Structure formats: C-alpha cells, structure tokens
A and B are shown apart, each in its own frame.
Chain A
Amino acid sequence: EPEVTQTPSHQVTQMGQEVILRCVPISNHLYFYWYRQILGQKVEFLVSFYNNEISEKSEIFDDQFSVERPDGSNFTLKIRSTKLEDSAMYFCASSPNYSPRLTRLPNEQFFGPGTRLTVL
C-alpha cells in the first residue's frame, strides 16, 4: 500500500539555524499539507499546497516558513531561523487526486510518520 514518507525522522538543530524537512507524498495525490504537533497537544495545520502553489496557510505559517515542491516527488518545509518554540513533530500529509472544488469536501488525508524537530 502506498504511503507518505518523511525524512529525517529526528532533526536536532541550534536556535537560529535553518532546517529543511522532507516529504514524499503518495504519487497520484495532488494536495499536500504540513501540520505540526507540539508534544501532547493537538495537530495544528500549517499550510496546504496545490498545483505548485500555496493553497491555504495558517497564522503559524509566518515568513520564517516556506514550502517547495522542487521536483515531481519531494515536498519540503523550510524553517529559515528556528526558534525554541518550533520544537514539535512535523507531519506531512497528502490527499487523493480529486479536487475539493468539485466535492466541496476536505479530502481524507494520509499522514507521514513525522519528523521530530528539536531546537536547542
């Protein structure tokens, strides 16, 4: 069964450093997402991506964050200058290849295993 993969599984960085979290969504999916989950808390939406551009983003997704789909398979989240409060589990997710514009419903989302980011 196809699945979303993420690398690395754990990233430790110093405050102020840039990090890039990588994801390979399921191959025939068209919508991609990043979420974060601070330890013991709920899953928070960061950004959605469709047709090579950001579709929606939350208040958390400020200028320090960016996403990119550099090729046909990878989907990356970059944090330019990490802060202590960026420490969290970051989940990538993807949705099947039908447009919500037609169904008007959010798609079932398939989550990757996550990257645990620790900022020291």
Chain B
Amino acid sequence: GQQVMQIPQYQHVQEGEDFTTYCNSSTTLSNIQWYKQRPGGHPVFLIQLVKSGEVKKQKRLTFQFGEAKKNSSLHITATQTTDVGTYFCAGPGGYSTLTFGKGTMLLVSP
C-alpha cells in the first residue's frame, strides 16, 4: 500500500489562531480522506477529496488536494477548543482499505 506522511506531529495554538496540517505521498493518490479523532475517541470521517486541485470547505475547515494528487492539507480558521483532537489523512492502502498517516495532534488553549 501507499505511505502517507503527515506534518506536523503536534501543534499547540491559542484559541482564535489558524491551524494547518499537511499530508504528503511519494506516489500519486487516487483520492484522500481526512478523519478526526477526539481524545479517547474513535476516528470520524470528515471528507474525501478525489479531483486534482480540489478544494472543499466545511465551515471553518478547508481541505485541499494538490494538483499532482500527491499532497493534501487541512486548514482550520480561527480554532476553537472543540477543534482539539488528532487529524489523520488516509490514502488508499489497497483495494478497499485505507493507509492512515501518523496524524497531527491539535491542542487549543482558551
């Protein structure tokens, strides 16, 4: 399966600041998914990106898929304490499986 690298591993921001996590692959991805895992919780699907250069928004969250389909980013505008958690990108790992990145843990201080 394909490997996806994610940076940063950890980020601590003040409430109201922006946050971005990046996901990179050495090979072209047919698609990429993003999941959020709250502390002590389970991964929850956020979005799937399929098209080259695709940009999707969900309220304060903006997801991008690179033109070459080798990278993706998740940007959160004006973070809130409810944004706390680990954000994982996941690329295709096989026929119907996912390969998760190591995740970016976001801490938001009030």
B102 x A41 contact (CB < 8 A): yes
Say yes or no for B13: interface residue by CB 8 A criterion: no
Complex Cα gap A100–B103 (Å): 25
Supposing A56-B95, A106-B96, A114-B42 touch, asked if A42 and B88 sit within 8 A by C-beta, the answer is: yes
Q: Which of A106-120 contact B (CB under 8 A)?
A: 106-114
Interface mask (A84-114 → B, CB under 8 Å = 1, otherwise 0): 0000000100010000100011111111111
Chain B residues near A45: list those with CB within 8 A. Answer: 1, 93-94, 97-100
Chain B residues near A33: list those with CB within 8 A. Answer: 97
How many residues on the A side are at the interface (Cβ–Cβ under 8 A)? Answer: 25
Interface mask (A8-23 → B, CB under 8 Å = 1, otherwise 0): 0000000000000000
Chain A residues near B88: list those with CB within 8 A. Answer: 42-43
Supposing A42-B102, A105-B31 touch, asked if A112 and B96 sit within 8 A by C-beta, the answer is: no
Say yes or no for A75: interface residue by CB 8 A criterion: no
B95 x A42 contact (CB < 8 A): no
Size category of the binding interface on chain B: 20 to 34
B42 x A95 contact (CB < 8 A): no
Complex Cα gap A114–B39 (Å): 13
B23, chain A: closest CB distance, angstroms: 12
Complex Cα gap A55–B92 (Å): 14
Supposing A106-B31, A111-B42, A113-B42 touch, asked if A55 and B103 sit within 8 A by C-beta, the answer is: no
* Chain A, Cβ-Cβ closest to B105: A40
B101 x A110 contact (CB < 8 A): no
**4 more A-B contacts (CB under 8 A) besides A45-B99, A109-B43?**
A31-B96, A42-B100, A43-B88, A56-B96
Q: List residues of A whose CB falls within 8 A of some B CB.
A: 31, 33, 41-45, 48, 50, 55-56, 91, 95, 100, 104-114
Q: List 24 A-B contacts (CB under 8 A).
A: A42-B100, A42-B102, A43-B37, A43-B90, A44-B100, A45-B100, A48-B94, A48-B96, A55-B95, A56-B96, A95-B96, A100-B95, A100-B96, A105-B30, A105-B50, A105-B92, A106-B92, A106-B97, A108-B45, A109-B43, A111-B42, A111-B44, A113-B42, A114-B42
